[in-house]
Amino acid sequence: MIDQHEMFWDSCVFIRYLTRSPAAHLEDIDQFIDDAKRGDRRIYFSTVAFAEIRPEFFSGHSFGTIEEFFADLGRAFIAVEPNPNVMVAAGRLRGIAPINPGDPKIDAQRKRVIGTADAIHLTTRLYIRDVLEVKDIVFHTFDNGKGKNHEGRCVPLLGFERWYPPSIRQGIISEVCGLPRSEPIHPQRKLDLGEQNG
């Protein structure tokens, strides 16, 4: 596993850190945050996260607002605003219809779309690579397409490329399919007590 020092976080990573649920990968996220606070890593995120991280996620925390939360995280967390170019690119991305890998002939009522916020996250990540020139950066997310929102079932961010086979990949879809994406797994995970004593 490559130990990358720069990452882009989807809103769901911050939300899991705040809510502590589900428990999977919480230690990894905690380690990444500790690394970033020490200055060993930089974590980029889109300011669209400010709209996705709702006040209810702060119950039980010492910081009661999103402003306090991001102030606590420190300068190693770099907010990137979705400028008009990012938003236009997000609209173009959403306009390219996916093909369901499980059933390419699925009826129109059950087709998926790229979620609006997801599209902004993805095109912000392209902006960071191409304009800010941060090349070696991984997109951390938990989005595997199992959830549903007001837009319906959306194309998952993990496994995104499965919904756009090579025959239809061109332009921005090709660029997004080439972005490294994974769950946040720290390259130097702390050993659990069983491993330490074994």
Residue 196 falls inside a structural domain: no
In the chain, at which residue ranges do the beta strands (DSSP E only) sit?
6-9, 42-46, 77-80, 138-140, 181-182
192 lies in some domain: no
Residue 172 lies in a domain: yes
CATH number, domain at 25? Answer: 3.40.50.1010
Asked whether the CA dihedral 12, 182, 78, 154 is positive or negative, the reply is negative
- Any idea what DSSP says for residue 189? P
- 198 in any annotated domain: no
> Does the residue 193 lie in any domain?
no
3-state secondary structure of 51: helix
Lowest mean pLDDT among 77-86, 104-113, 175-184: 104-113
Please state, in angstroms and rounded to a whole number, the distance separating the CA atoms of residues 116 and 118: 5
pLDDT in tens, 80-110: 999 999 999 999 999 999 998 888 777 766 7
Provide the CA 95 distance to its chain's centre, in angstroms.
20
pTM score, whole prediction: 0.89
Burial environment of residue 30 by CB neighbours within 10 A (0 to 12, 13 to 18, 19 or more): middle
Query: Radius of gyration of the chain from Cα atoms?
Result: 18
Asked if the structure places residue 112 within a domain, the reply is yes
Number of folded domains in the chain?
1
Q: Is 1 part of a structural domain of the chain?
A: no
> Is the residue at 195 inside a domain?
no
- Are the C-beta atoms of residues 46 and 118 closer than 8 Å to each other? no
128-151 residue pLDDT tens: 999 999 988 999 999 998 877 767
Sheet holding 42-46, edge to edge: 77-80, 42-46, 6-9, 138-140, 181-182
Structure-block tokens of residue 84: 């008009």
| Range of the structural domain that residue 115 is part of | 6-186
Min mean pLDDT across 53-57, 175-179, 188-192 is at 188-192
98 contact partners, CB below 8 Å, separation of at least 6: 111, 112, 113, 114, 155, 163, 164
> Of the segments 46-50, 68-72, 143-147, which one has the largest average pLDDT value?
46-50
Contact criterion met (CB below 8 Å) for 67 and 101: no
What is the spatial distance between Cα 96 and Cα 9, in angstroms, rounded to a whole number?
24
